[in-house]
Amino acid sequence: MAGVTTRLVASGDAPELAALLAGNREFLAPYEPFRPEEYYTPEGQRTYLEDVLRQCSAGTTLAHVIVDDDQIVGRITLSGITRGPFLSASLGYWVAKAANGRGVASAAVARIVRLAFDELGLHRLEAGTLVHNAASQRVLVRNGFQRFGLAPRYLRINGEWRDHILFQRLADEKGD
């Protein structure tokens, strides 16, 4: 998608992210962990981003905002970045309801996959989706991820332990 890009998250993004999260709270709730009320405020996002930026500085996280036509429409993160013989990370992302179904997530994932393999030199990326989240599964498959398993009660989503389908992409596998 032509207007979609990503960039490193900044603490100054807190007010815009808070507004986006608050406005999409109901839309994202079925896919997200339970969040305290302050998470949806500019101060809560500032605190959250400070923690994320510390992890970025430590090299264990790469957190980007997803930008479509100069507006933040979501976030995409590589977490648990591990060096040494593993060279792996976990991928997570979300987009606002208004950006959903337009190829925005697919474009953002494609960009982060390139960064992970070409710039960070990682070997493997893993991502998990709720079993019923067919749209996110399509995003991953479009980006060369392959399903490799089912993880029972993998993450606590919206207050309940939920099963996830696991996907992976290796650097030496050709993506679309």
Superfamily (CATH) of domain 4-126: Gcn5-related N-acetyltransferase (GNAT) (3.40.630.30)
Chain segment 53-64, per-residue pLDDT in tens: 999 999 999 999
Tell me what pLDDT residue 1 has. Answer: 56
Tell me what pLDDT residue 176 has. Answer: 47
- Rounded Cα distance between 44 and 40, Å, is 6
Give CA torsion, residues 144, 148, 150, 155, to 10 deg: -60
Where do the structural domains in the chain lie, given as residue ranges? 4-126
Residue 174 has pLDDT above 80, yes or no: no
Residue whose structure tokens are 């905002």? 65
Tell me what pLDDT residue 49 has. Answer: 97
Note the pTM of the prediction, 2 decimals.
0.94
Residue 82 has pLDDT above 80, yes or no: yes
Residue whose structure tokens are 């709270």? 25
